[in-house]
Structure 1
């Protein structure tokens, strides 16, 4: 027996859900926890009823928006490796990590409220990110386009540092320069 909750979403319902989640990240990042859900619905181009049908509480929306950003980041790794050379895939993913971190930092107040309510949206975040990052580093190492002595833990620390130092949208150019610097360092000592 199929229940309504277990049935896959129709294509239009899936698109609406994605639009709501993207709008939620933007609005919560701009306005914090005080963001009006009606504004999110309007930004997404859906009615309030559609928003509340998908996310009956503010907390459910915040958690889903964060988890969606995390999934987008981690799911990008195999797609990038399938379409780009490993070093370029790694660099593209590094930029996506900064996008993710910027959204997370922007939503910090809203995410803190979720944690305070007893929900841990970060429960598996680090593991998922580390797995995605390790796959990119392994591919680039196997292609001999980066040094083999840098692991996912070290790389995660470097990317987190860039996000903390230059994670605001207005600092994006600096973040990109820092990512290029890291990538150059990863190639140090590699000879053809």
Structure 2
């Protein structure tokens, strides 16, 4: 018989590197399928995208809600990590900002679908939304500040305003093939450039 302390110790142990890689692969696959087909896409489609069986997905994410929350958090973290990487690797801060906004649009298209599914748990959704703002507003602020310091964009725009504007342009994009949110977001991002 295993006592409570031993069991507790096992659950606190960090995941092995291969288990973390497998989970990342599953989350990347689920995000890609959600962007293409919506959050109600069959688990078998996600399994095929990841190159695993459906049992593997259920082992990591026992319910669809677990998978959706996992994808949401994974995409927030990917967006947060991309900001500094793009600033370091892009030819200009404005290019880094534009590339980051493109990634942000992918996340938002998925997020709107996720939001609809998570609305039944309003408190849980509010917690995830606060997490989203806490992680991404500072990243967008750094990108805007770098581009403004370089004289590439106007300096009177806050990260929250830009993110909210992009978010509003993405509403409904996942359900309307006649509406190209990415094209309108590109117009918005072009509009923040300095013309002087």
TM-score between both structures, scaled by the size of structure 1: 0.80
CA RMSD of aligned residues (A): 2.8
**How is 1:90-129 mapped onto 2 (pairs within 5 angstroms)?**
90-113=97-120, 115=121, 119-120=124-125, 121-129=128-136
Whole-Å separation in 2 of the counterparts to 1:28 and 1:167: 10
Structure 2: which 5+ residue stretches go unaligned? 1-5
- Counterpart of 2:145 in structure 1 is 138
What is the CA-CA distance between 1:99 and the residue it aligns to?
Answer: 0.6
Q: Tell me what 1:21 maps to.
A: 27
Contact 1:98/1:159 (<8 A) preserved: yes
Deviation (angstroms), 1:160? 1.5
Q: What secondary structure is seen at the aligned counterpart in 2 of 1:149?
A: coil
More divergent stretch after superposition (14-23 vs 84-93)? 14-23
Tell me, yes or no, if the aligned pair for 1:25 and 1:107 is still in contact at 8 Å: no
CA offsets, 1:29-76, max 9 Å, x none?
A: 62544x443443333211233223322333221110111111111211
User: Is 1:82 paired with 2:88?
Assistant: yes
Report the count of equivalent residues. Answer: 185
Aligned to 2:169: 162
Q: 1:169 to 1:91 in 2, by over 3 A?
A: farther
Tell me by how many angstroms 1:19 deviates: 2.4
Structure 1 runs not aligned, ≥5 long: none
The two structures have a TM-score, normalised by structure 2, of 0.78
Q: Deviations over 1:154-191 (max 9, x none)?
A: 2122211221265568467x43432332233212344x
Inter-CA distance 20–169: structure 2 relative to 1 (3 Å threshold): farther
Pick which of 150-159 and 93-102 moved more.
Answer: 150-159
